[in-house]
Structure 1
Amino acid sequence: MTGGWTRRDFLRRSAAAGAVALAGPAVLAACSSTSSGDTLETAKKAGTIKVGIANEAPYGFTGPDGKTATGESVEVGRAVLKALGINAVDAQVVDFNGLIPGLNARQFDMVTAGMFINKARCGAATFSDPDYTAPTAFLVPKGNPKSVLTFDDVKSKTLKLAVLSGAVEQGYAQKSGIPDGQIQAFDTQNSLLQAVATGRADAGALTNISLNDVVSKNPSAAVEVTKGFFPVIDGQETLSAGAFVFRKGDDAFVNAFNAELKKLHDSGEWLKIAAPFGFNQDNVPKSDVTTQRLCSA
C-alpha cells in the first residue's frame, strides 16, 4: 500500500540511507528496530526516540556537517518531544517512499519529514493534527510588475509560467485553462528560479514553502514570492497540509503530541521555529483544516 510514494508523487496529488544524530553520536543501525509496547512511555523512560527523515529541505535534512539533522519538521518535533520529556532525538535517513514502511517495521517510532496527509497514507499510519498548510504561490520579479496573484492572471495576461515538472502546479495551470504553450516545465527548483530571474518566464508556481526556501538560498536573485493561496480546481479547494506520522495504535502518543503541538501553534512559538525554513503566517493551519477532513478527502 505504501510503495511508490515519492515526494514528486505527493506533489502531484493528481487532480542516502544512514543514521544521523540530533543529540550526541549516531546510534542507529540499518537493521535497528524499536521495542513494542507503549511507545511514548518507553521513549520517556529512555529519554530518547528514533525518528525517520528523508534528508529533504526544508522539512528534515542533514546540516552542513553532514551529521546533525534539522528542518521545520525536525525542529518542531524536537520542541514537542522535549515538552513531553523526551530530550534526545536520533534520526534515520531513508528514501521518502520508505518512511511509512520503516515506521511500521519499527525501525523508528515516528516520522518527522513534513509528509502530506492523504487518504491512502491514512490507511497505513496515523497522522498528527496538521503541522502546517502548503498553499500555492508565485515566484515573480521584484515588485511583481505583471501583478500575478492567480492562475487566471497568468491566463488572461498571456504570461509565461514556469512549473516543476510533474508537480501539482503543472496540473493546476492546465486545469485553470492556461494553454500548454504558456507553460514551461523545469526539473529543479533552481532552474525554475533562474527562468524567472532571467525573464524567460514571467512567474513560477510552486508551494510558498518551497519558493521561500529557494529564495532564501539565493539572496542576490531579484525575485519575490506572492501571498499563498489554495487554488479552486474543478470546483474544489486544493487544500494540502503536512503532519507528523505515527504507527497505528499509538493513540496515547498521538494525543499527547497533538496537545503540545497545539500549544506551539496557539502561542506563536511554532512560527518562530518554522520561519527560518521558509514558513510564514500563510502556513499556519486554520481551524477547519483537520486530519479527519484530509484523511477522508
Structure 2
Amino acid sequence: MAPPHRHSRHGVHTNGPSRRSLLAGVAALGALGAAGCSRVASASTVKGGDLLRRLRAQGVVRLGIAGEIPFGYIDKNGDLTGEAPELARVIFKRLGVDRVQPVPTEFGSLIPGLNSQQFDVVAAGMYVNPDRCAQVIFADPDYQMLDAFIVRKGNPKGLHNYQDIVAKKAKFATGTGYAEIQYAIDAGYKQSDILIVPDQVAGLNAVEAGRADVFSGTALTVREVVKKSSKAEATKAFAPIVDGKRHVDGGAFAFRPTETNLRDAFNVELRKLKKSGELFRILKPFGFTEAEMTDLTAKELCGG
C-alpha cells in the first residue's frame, strides 16, 4: 500500500481508527487470552532474535487478531478461525509450535500491541505498506487484493473505478480507516463528502437504502457481503491508481523488528505452501480465489 493506509485489508493511518470492527465475543476472548498466558518474554540479545526457540519451548504462539471476517476472527462457536489463523496453525506446526492462541484487539492497536510484546505475531491479514514497514517487519504476502464496489443492481450509474465516482458525482461511502478513503481523495473526491460507515455490512445497507450510490472495499469482502442481497451487486475487481500507477495491496503476517530469524523461518514455510498449492487450499474456504494468490514480496510493498 503506497499511501499510508490500511488493511484491509486494511487504516488510513497505521495507528488510527480500526478498519476491522470486532465481532461479538472477541473482547471477552481477549481477556481469556491475556489471563491464559503471561506477557511475552522480553526481547533477546541473540542476533535475529530467539523467539522461535522460545515458542517451541512453550508450545504455543500468541496471535494478534482484529476480529474481521475473513482474516482473523472468533466464529459463532467461540473458535478462532480466519485465513491468517488457519495459515498460522499450519506454518507454526511445521516450525515446531503446536498451538496458537488468539489475542483479540482493535486493528489500530495491533502494531503497538506487537511491539509492546502483548502477543508474538500479527495474524490479521494486515496490508504491507511503507509506514508499517518502519515499525514492524513483514513476512511475504500470503494474498493480494484489489478493490471493488457495492452498487445497486445493474450498476445504474456505471461506476467501475474512483475516477467514475468523481466524474459522475456519485455519493461515495467507505469504511472507518479504510485505504479506499485516500484512493477516492487521490482521484479528486472531496473528503468532507465521503460517507464513513463502520464496515461493509453498513456500506451495503447504505447503498440499498439510497444513502450512497457506491460503497468501496476490498474485492473479497464486497463480493461476500452482497451474496444475499436482492438490491445490490459487486462490481468487477480493479486496481486503484496511486501516483499514476495501478496499485495492488498484499496482506501478510507482521513480526517485531528484532525477530528476523522467526520471520525468515516463517517465509521458508510460506514459500513451500505457495509452491505446492496448499496455500490456496487453506485460503479458499474463506472466499479467496486463485486471482488473489501472489508472488509479491514484502520488500516490494515496503518500497525497498
Q: TM-score range by the shorter chain?
A: 0.7 to 0.9
Which residue is 2:281 aligned to? Answer: 272
Instruction: Note if contact 2:9-2:127 (Cα within 8 Å) is conserved in structure 1.
Output: no
**Match status 1:99 vs 2:116:** no
Distance of aligned partners of 1:193 and 1:263 in 2 relative to their CA distance in 1, 3 Å threshold: same
State TM-score, norm by structure 1: 0.78
CA offsets 1:2-38 (integer angstroms, 9 cap, x no match): xxx9979963259x656569xxx95844752236562
CA distance in 2, matches of 1:181, 1:110: 36
Count of residues in correspondence between the two structures: 284
Contact 2:88 2:100 in 1 (8 A): no
Q: Which of 55, 64, 74 is the equivalent residue of 1:52?
A: 64
Q: Does the residue aligned with 1:33 lie in a helix, a strand or coil?
A: coil
RMSD of the alignment, in Å?
A: 3.4
* CA spacing shift, 1:254–1:202, aligned 2, 3 Å: same
Q: What residue is the counterpart of 1:40 in the other structure?
A: 52
The whole-number CA distance in structure 2 between the counterparts of 1:256 and 1:82 is 12
> Which TM-score applies when normalising by structure 2?
0.77
Instruction: Check 1:200–1:81 CA distance in 2 against 1; reply closer, same or farther (3 A cut).
Output: same
Aligned residues of 1:18 and 1:29 also touching (Cα < 8 A): no
Closer, same or farther: CA 129–155 of 1 in aligned 2, 3 Å: same
Deviation per residue, 1:238-297 (Å, 9 max, x gap): 332221011223222212211221222233332332233333234222x3x321122237
More displaced stretch, 142-151 vs 102-111 = 142-151
Corresponding letter in the other structure for 2:272: K
* Structure 1 pair 197–276 and aligned structure 2 pair: CA distance change class (3 A): farther
CA distance in 1, matches of 2:171, 2:98: 49
Are residue 292 (structure 1) and residue 303 (structure 2) matched?
no
Residue in structure 2 matched with residue 194 of structure 1 by the alignment: 205
- Cα offsets for 1:58-92 (capped at 9, x unmatched): 222212133x2111111111122222232211111
User: Does 1:86 find its partner at 2:86?
Assistant: no
One of 62, 65, 86 as aligned partner of 2:74: 62
Match of 1:135 in 2: 146
2:61 counterpart letter in structure 1: I
CA distance in 2, matches of 1:96, 1:176: 26
Matches within 5 A, 1:1-297: 11-12=11-12, 19=29, 28-29=35-36, 32-34=39-41, 36=44, 38-66=50-78, 68-144=79-155, 146-164=157-175, 167-178=178-189, 184-215=195-226, 219-285=228-294, 287=295, 289-296=296-303
The one-letter amino acid paired with 1:128 is: A
**In structure 1, distance between residues paired with 2:133 and 2:70:** 23
Identity over aligned residues, as a percent? 37
Give, in whole Å, the separation in 2 of the partners of 1:195 and 1:54: 24
In 1, the alpha carbon distance for the partners of 2:177 and 2:122 equals 25
Query: Using the alignment, how far apart are the partners of 1:121 and 1:269 within structure 2?
Result: 28
Contact kept, 8 Å, 2:8 with 2:126, in 1: the verdict is no
One-letter amino acid of the counterpart of residue 86, structure 2: E
1:93-123 deviations in Å (ceiling 9; x for gaps) = 2333332333233332211112222223222
Q: Secondary structure at the match of 2:135?
A: coil
Deviation at 1:178, TM superposition (A): 4.8
Q: 1:175: how far off? A: 3.0
Gaps spanning 5+ residues in structure 2: where?
15-25
How far apart, in 2, do the equivalents of 1:62 and 1:209 lie?
19
In the alignment, the residues of structure 1 paired with residue 201 and residue 292 of structure 2 have an alpha-carbon distance, to the nearest angstrom, of 22
Structure 1 pair 28–182 and aligned structure 2 pair: CA distance change class (3 A): closer
In the TM superposition, what whole-angstrom CA distance separates every residue of 1:147-167 from its partner, at most 9, and x where no partner exists?
432223334455443333553
Q: Distance in 2 between matches of 1:164 and 1:238?
A: 19
* Distance in 2 (alpha carbons) for counterparts of 1:165 and 1:106: 26
What amino acid sits opposite 2:300 in the alignment? R
The residue type paired with residue 267 of structure 2 is N
